[in-house]
A and B are shown apart, each in its own frame.
Chain A
Amino acid sequence: MAVDLYHFEPNANGGKPLIALIEKGVAFTSHWVDLLNWEQHQPAYLAINPKGQVPTLVHDGAIITESTPMCEYIDEAFEGLPLRPADAAGRARMRRWCRYADEFLGPSLSMVAWSRFIGPMMRQRSREELDRALAAIPTKERIKAWTKTIENDFPPEELAESQRRIAFAAGRIDAQLGQTPWLAGETYSLADIIVFNMAAGLPSFMAERINAQATPHLLAWIERVGSRPAVREALAYSRNSLRPIAK
């Protein structure tokens, strides 16, 4: 059995399958894809994932993309710790949190993170390098996102709305965790893994609105998830690529 995971930093989408595989005890080969040096748009990677997105899982030749469906695949295709509730209602609650993370929290968080971390890094590169990189992007959507980032084309009202959504989502997650130990109820599940990947950095990212006073359950849960051996092992894959650049 061959399991290969192509990923970048163990946060946002990349960390989801990384944690899931380690939680289940699946042996896999890790392949670092350097997003900041555009490896995801190089022919070698596009042969695996034509959209140029990370992460990608290759399981005995089958190419599995899209990190959230990928996580359910990992739980269904491999033995090991079950990462979904045993009952249909629990799985439905789990999937609602996964959708909420992907559709509500994730996009707003990415927008702020790209404007804050990736944009300034890109503006240190030469115009020639950036033009070459943009020309290699396979989809119009991604070209648009990268261009916006490079040119810092983020209107203040758009960023403010994203920040509002992040804080609102943190409040909702906190409220749920005030009622149940884990997001889908009584058991740790993919909902915790997927939301953790986005939420772990929030207390430092938005300390003024997400902290031990405002969102105590969220902070305690971040500790609880983050101290799981599998999660610590996944986080150790970090190369600390997304440090803020001093102005």
Chain B
Amino acid sequence: MMILYTAGPVGHSLKVMIAAAEKGLLLACSPVETLDLEHYRAPLAMLTPTGGLPVLVDDELVLTESSIINEYLDESREGPALMPTAAQARWRARTWFKFVNEDLAPAVSILAWREWGLPALSASRRERLRTAVESIEAIERRAHWRQALDGFLPAQHETAEAKIATVLDLVEQQLADGDHLAGPAFSLADIDALPFIEPLRRLRPALIAAHPRTDTWIDRILERPAVAATWSGYRDDRWVPGPELIRWG
């Protein structure tokens, strides 16, 4: 059976859990103690050298990157197709993967960490983490965690807010053309975006209110039985520092 190492039903891990549920796949989900940095130590670190979660192990194949895992599951397993069939709609779905992974996810993670993740840490746990992150091997991940524990910088918050506003405008614009992000039908694009847009209802309620089609879309996707069942384990305080904001471009 395939094994999925997850950070729990939140963020990128939640995407893969939803895709598996939509396809009716049985995955052995193995939750990782992210706040104990379990994924930066052996044996898990052997599977994910940069500490990215989730990780899918399918026999000899080890995969990281949630959108890539989702396309792999869709292409290699039976069940309802989660990618459109027309080349243009498939391209559109993949542009959403890009906007979510490069822009939206790092930005929402910064806000969620400030609002929920960091305040949920006790002072003693924060101190223990400060020591523990020093043994993270990937230099850029270590620097990112240090910054997260100190609190992200005002400039990082500013960039995050701008990116969120830009992507939400794109989503709103897209939904004027149809009920789903890659065209008329539900697809992996909707699965990719939802875990990073739904929390904005609480993080930035005014922004969601200003994007009414997006607001309706959130409900439309959440109502799907497979999504609802997976989402039931979601909690705001599960957020941990996400991928870093892109450095340039």
Contact = CB atoms under 8 A, between A and B. Distances in A.
Interface in A122-156: 139-141, 145
Contacts of B75: 88, 91
Contact of A91 (B64, B72, B95, B166): B72
Interface stretch (B12-20, B29-37, B86-94): B86-94
Nearest to A13: B249
A99 B71 CA distance: 14
Contacts, number: 82
B228 interface: no
Contacts of B91: 64, 69-70, 72-73, 76
Interface stretch (A31-39, A107-115, A203-211, A223-231): A107-115
B61 interface: yes
Contacts of B94: 66, 68-69, 72
A76 B162 contact: no
Interface string A92-105: 10011001001100
B76 interface: yes
Contacts of A72: 90-91, 94
| Interface of A (DSSP majority class) | helix
A73 B88 contact: yes
B88 A89 contact: no
A77 B88 CA distance: 8
Interface residues of A, number: 34
Contact of A99 (B65, B166, B247): B65
A96 B64 contact: yes
A222 to B, nearest CB: 23
B63 interface: yes
B248 A111 contact: yes
Given A140-B162, A161-B140, 5 more contacts: A95-B68, A96-B68, A99-B101, A102-B98, A108-B248
Interface of B: 58, 61, 63-65, 68-69, 71-72, 75-76, 87-88, 90-91, 94-95, 97-98, 101-102, 139-140, 162, 166, 243, 246-249
- Give 3 closest A-B pairs by Cβ, nearest first: A69-B94, A88-B76, A88-B75
15 contacts: A66-B98, A69-B91, A69-B95, A70-B91, A72-B90, A88-B72, A89-B76, A91-B71, A91-B72, A96-B63, A96-B64, A96-B68, A107-B247, A114-B248, A162-B247
